[in-house]
């Protein structure tokens, strides 16, 4: 797993469709506590930046945009500072408190797309709107959840085949 991979998926999947209704964890009444649970400050500015980053990543991952200006702006004031210890060199993120989560999400997206090329994708269920990182050996995972979306899609395919056969 890439560093902050879970954070990346949590933020990407914060705009879910539940029972056919769009939801947004960054706009809900408890959005401040939601971002604090991720290690953030919970401010409106933090949520606004995180929403812009999330929405830009949605477009990039789905292939409907190649605009990275929002991601570049999120990284504009961040720095990675080397720290040397007997174990080697590590990199410490320096970012404004309201920008740190968004910066970590952009860095995680970059690591995942570099370390696991073409494995970060949208769920194949068009009604779902969630994302997954495919860790399967063949790299053929299509659904965010086999128990939910996978079963639904397979049931629909089976029903279509039965209608075609009749």
pLDDT in tens, 86-104: 999 999 999 999 999 999 9
Residue 165 scores a pLDDT above 70: no
Q: Read off φ and ψ for residue 74, nearest 5 degrees.
A: -65, -30
pLDDT digits (tens, 9 = 90+) for 125-149: 888 889 999 999 998 888 787 666 8
**Residue 58 neighbours by CB distance under 10 Å:** 16
pLDDT tier at 160, thresholds 50, 70, 90: low
pLDDT, residue 142, reads: 83
The pLDDT of residue 155 is above 60: no
pTM: 0.87
Mean pLDDT, rounded, for 68-94: 97
| β-pair type (88-94, 120-122) | unpaired
For helices 100-115 and 44-62, angle between their N-to-C axes, nearest 10 degrees: 20
Q: Which helix (H) or strand (E) holds 162?
A: helix 151-165
């Amino acid at each position: 797993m890439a560093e902050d991979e879970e954070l990346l998926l949590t933020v990407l999947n914060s705009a879910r469709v539940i029972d056919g209704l769009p939801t947004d964890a960054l706009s809900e009444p408890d959005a401040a506590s939601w971002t604090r649970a991720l290690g953030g400050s919970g401010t409106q500015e933090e949520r606004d930046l995180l929403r812009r980053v999330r929405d830009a990543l949605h477009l990039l991952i789905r292939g409907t945009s190649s605009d990275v200006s929002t991601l570049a702006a999120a990284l504009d004031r961040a720095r990675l500072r080397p720290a040397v210890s007997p174990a080697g060199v590590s990199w410490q993120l320096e970012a404004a408190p309201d920008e740190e989560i968004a910066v970590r999400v952009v860095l995680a997206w970059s690591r995942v797309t570099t370390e696991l090329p073409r494995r970060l994708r949208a769920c194949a269920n068009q009604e779902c709107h969630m994302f997954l990182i495919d860790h399967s050996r063949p790299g053929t995972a299509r659904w965010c959840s086999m128990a939910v979306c996978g079963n639904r899609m397979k049931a629909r395919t089976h029903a279509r085949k039965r209608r075609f056969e009749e």
